[in-house]
Chains A and B, each alone.
Chain A
């Protein structure tokens, strides 16, 4: 069981900055994120896009913002559970929360701050009737262990980098690889596109372009898929696995079932005070929350997190008073005892 003062759900920019503000109050944080790395949308969707409305940064790449935040919070030694999705929450009689992930990792915390952005990133699932019945029975949206495809017949669908990369990789693992794509051109990295077309020429893989997988057939597990070709019509392709690779899409996911008050896919909070949810001890900050006048901006999330941790402090340390201190005056003291502080010097007498 991982124990912490504040458990932060979501390691995007706002979740990361929450660690900093909590650290100033000497509160320890642990973060959970469904992605295998920190950064949330900034890392997953637009790492190379510039952001222009971070105060004091006329322009900063989203990926650089995350790197800077990680550097900024390092003195407060955050710990992470990455690549796992927060699944269930339980409030114990002593007021502590137990949050368990989809992989069974348990976390105990006095306060929970949800900074889940738009939710956890999940594979975009093609709208094929009955596809859910075949999930993990031949339909795989993600490839965790390529060995399960050894000597199997595999149909991959998609035209982006991951479809191309896995086609190349599985060409040497599976007994047969067929890549189905809606267009007759691929938009992935040039190198991968060339490799795929070379493999197709050599007969190591088969390409079916201008086509879509429209049906899955089988008896308890995938036995074939129907590929609808724009000119040739329906083609039945026998296979053991169907791997649709159409990128990731954020979904609010299991948080929606935590008993929180939800409005338009976001968690309602008390913006007049502390960004608390309807469950005492659980706060929501950043894009995941909603209140009148809400703006989904990183800078608003930073503000919300700063306020929320002041109130989380009262939950972790009941009866104790905290007085806000300026970092310019007091510097910051990391959990290893080291203090970063400006040199004392008389700049100007007043």
Chain B
């Protein structure tokens, strides 16, 4: 079984515990969309719109922020120290128990 659990707090403060497959090259933005959480994913996952910005609340070691992601976070609003773009976080076994919060829409 390659599913993990990811906890995502939506913009109304409601937490959703999601079953997330790690064998489908899926990212957090796609996971949110699959569960009908209100994430637009406007650019399709190219780190070019920031509509999937989220705050990481758990201490998981995640993939490093790439150049495109850094550039986008530079332009986005409501950016905090723990901001990441969901589309750049690909689900992996190590992310089991990850806790995220969706950043406000902008």
Give residues in A with beta carbon < 8 Å to B. 41, 45-46, 49, 118, 124-127, 158-160, 182-183, 187, 246-247, 249-250, 265, 296
Contacts and interface: CB of A to CB of B under 8 A. Distances in A.
Contact of B42 (A49, A125, A160, A250): A250
Contact of B77 (A45, A49, A246, A296): A246
Contact of B75 (A49, A124, A127, A250): A124
Interface residues of B, number: 17
Contacts of A124: 75, 77, 106
Contacts of A126: 77
Of B46, B49, B74, chain A has the most CB atoms within 10 Å of the CB of: B74
B43 A247 contact: no
Contacts of B75: 124, 158-160, 246-247
B46 A45 contact: yes
A41 B48 CA distance: 11
A249 B44 contact: no
| A interface majority secondary structure | loop
B3 interface: no
Nearest to A183: B74
Contact of B48 (A46, A159, A187, A246): A46
Contacts of B74: 159-160, 182-183, 187
Contacts of B106: 124-125, 127
Given A187-B70, A187-B71, A127 B78 contact: yes
B104 A249 contact: no
A127 B77 CA distance: 7
A246 B106 CA distance: 11
A249 B77 CA distance: 13
Contacts of A183: 74
Interface of B: 40, 42-44, 46, 48-49, 70-71, 74-79, 104, 106
A126 B77 CA distance: 7
Given A49-B46, A187-B71, A249-B49, 14 more contacts: A41-B43, A45-B48, A46-B48, A118-B42, A125-B106, A127-B77, A127-B104, A160-B75, A182-B79, A246-B76, A247-B75, A250-B42, A265-B40, A296-B44
Contacts of B42: 118, 249-250
A219 B87 CA distance: 42
9 contacts: A124-B75, A127-B77, A127-B78, A182-B74, A182-B79, A246-B76, A246-B77, A250-B42, A265-B40
Contacts of B40: 265
Nearest to A246: B75
Contacts of B70: 187
B30 to A, nearest CB: 13
- A-B pairs, top 6 by smallest CB distance, nearest first, are A246-B75, A159-B74, A187-B71, A247-B75, A127-B77, A45-B48
Nearest to A250: B42
A250 B77 CA distance: 16
A126 B48 CA distance: 17
A82 B104 CA distance: 32
Nearest to B71: A187
A4 B75 CA distance: 40
Contacts of B49: 45, 249
A211 to B, nearest CB: 13
B47 to A, nearest CB: 10
A125 B46 CA distance: 21
A217 B62 CA distance: 41
Contacts of B78: 127
A94 B40 CA distance: 39
B72 to A, nearest CB: 9
Contacts of B44: 296
A160 B49 CA distance: 14
Contacts of A125: 106
